[in-house]
Amino acid sequence: MSNNGLVTKPHYPILDGLRGVAAIIVVTFHLAEPLAKGHLDIIVNHGYLAVDFFFLLSGFVIGYAYDDRWHNMTAGSFFKRRIERLQPMVILGMTLGAIGFYFTDSTLWPLIHTVPVWKMLLVMLIGYTILPVPLSLDIRGWQEMHPLNSVGWSLFFEYIANILYAIWIRKFSKTALSILVVVSAIALAHLAITNGDVSGGWTLNAKQMRIGITRTMYPFFAGLLLSRIAKPTRIKNVFLWCSLLVALVLYMPRIGGAGHLWMNGVYEAVCIIVVFPLIVYLGASGLIQTQREKRICKFLGNISYPLYLVHYPLVYFYVAWVSNHKGVTILQAWPYALLILTGSTILAYTALKLYDEPVRKWLRKKLK
């Protein structure tokens, strides 16, 4: 999930707004997760597909922003731009996770209070690089790549996609890129249908790495292909309808149940392979109708990435509370969930204005 950070081309404000809508739904997914008995009955059952949507948006924006700049840009300068865009919030997100770590001690994570400070700080420093933490440093017990801020796993794969693009795949012809996208789509569909979903990618083992790579390759490079072949038209009321479509896809209940897992896999494959590219195409074609709509899209786009990186350290507190109050119902939990959602949004906007934008401005000068 990323902006291009450039001012030399027109922006796609509706895509920014849709990224914000998806980021908010991710937060609601993480708030609904601990209230479920298992992965089959989460209220926001397909919220994790927002990550696949972010990958597709990222591939589209990267292609749009950089494909025609390689005559005067090196891979090194490209990576500098990506680091300047992505890393400040990664560092803040890991720091927030470290600050809150010992305060999330609960029946769910009984060993947190036994973790020495040096080990927690080591995990934080590794997290700053976005490299996965080895399982020997799994200080929370969830087998996360980043135990201080779980969502860091998707940024790890975002970087992998960016590296592949810069050193190799940017040179692909449309035909070669199309072949890669088709093969990646087949791999994604196979994963979804055989597993029953595409959920996963956040653990440093062979199975989860396969899931993470498979979830990254199709949407990112389908977005890149879309940026090369799509010829956006001008369509009205796109932001409203695309926002509703994103919400419909991500809030859709689990399909098929435990007896027919493949049905849910088919649903998710269709959403990622067909519906998400359609939404991005429509978003790129959309016309902003009013100044109010423009402001909404700008706000949602601005907070989307900070919200994604800062919300999970707060969600850990909420998960600990749910764990410590066995049998808590949705009616009992929703005020706390709303508090976390509101607090995350305020924290994201504050981080954007007081930290992310100033640091990126400083880095832009230093990395020239």
**Domain range holding 90?**
13-366
**How does pLDDT run across 48-57, given as a tens digit for each residue?**
999 999 999 9
The closest of 7, 9, 51 to 26, measured between CA atoms, is: 51
Q: What percent of the chain has pLDDT over 70?
A: 98
* Mean pLDDT confidence for 126-150: 96
Task: Quote the number of domains for the chain.
Answer: 1
Residue 5 forms part of a structural domain:
no
Give CA–CA dist 115/138, Å, rounded: 10
CA 315 to chain CA centroid, nearest Å: 16
Identity of the highest mean pLDDT range in 1-5, 133-137, 230-234: 133-137
In the numeric block, which tokens belong to residue 354? 């007081």
DSSP state of 146: S
Domain assignment of residue 1, yes or no: no
* Main-chain phi, psi angles of 235, to 5 degrees: -125, 140
In a domain, 149, yes or no: yes
Q: Return the H-helix or E-strand segment holding 231.
A: none
Q: In this structure, what are the phi and psi dihedrals at residue 337, rounded to the nearest 5 degrees? A: -65, -45
Q: Which two structure tokens, joined as six digits, stand for 288?
A: 């902003």
In a domain, 286, yes or no: yes
Do the Cβ atoms of 45 and 329 come closer than 8 Å? Answer: no
pLDDT at 7 over 80: no
Band of the pLDDT at 19, cuts 50, 70, 90?
Answer: very high
The 10s digit of each residue's pLDDT in 179-215 is 999 999 999 999 999 999 999 999 999 999 999 999 9
- Does the pLDDT at position 142 exceed 50? yes
Predicted confidence (pLDDT) per residue in 233-275, tens digit: 888 899 999 999 999 999 999 999 888 999 999 999 999 999 9
Give the whole-number percent of the chain exceeding pLDDT 90: 88
Q: Are 256 and 191 in contact (CB under 8 A)?
A: no
**3-class SS of residue 361:** helix
Q: 149-176: per-residue pLDDT in tens?
A: 999 999 999 999 999 999 999 999 999 9
User: Is there a domain that residue 2 lies in?
Assistant: no
Per the prediction, the chain carries an average pLDDT of 94
- Interval 62-87: pLDDT, tens: 999 999 999 999 999 999 999 999 99
CB 287 within 8 A of CB 238: yes
Please check whether residue 71 lies inside any domain of the structure: yes
Q: Residue 4 pLDDT more than 80?
A: no
DSSP β-bridge partners for residue 235: 286
- Backbone dihedral angles phi then psi of residue 286, each to the nearest 5 degrees: -75, 150
Per-residue pLDDT tens digits for 284-322: 999 898 999 999 999 999 999 999 999 999 999 999 999
Q: Does residue 249 belong to any structural domain of this protein?
A: yes
Give pLDDT, residue 203.
97
Q: Would 281 be classed as within a structural domain?
A: yes
Whether the per-residue pLDDT at 8 is higher than 60: the answer is no
The predicted pLDDT at position 11 comes to 83
* pTM (2 d.p.): 0.95
For 40, 253, 276, the CA distances from 257, given in Å and listed in that order, are 7, 10, 23
Q: Which amino acid is present at 249?
A: V
pLDDT of 357:
98
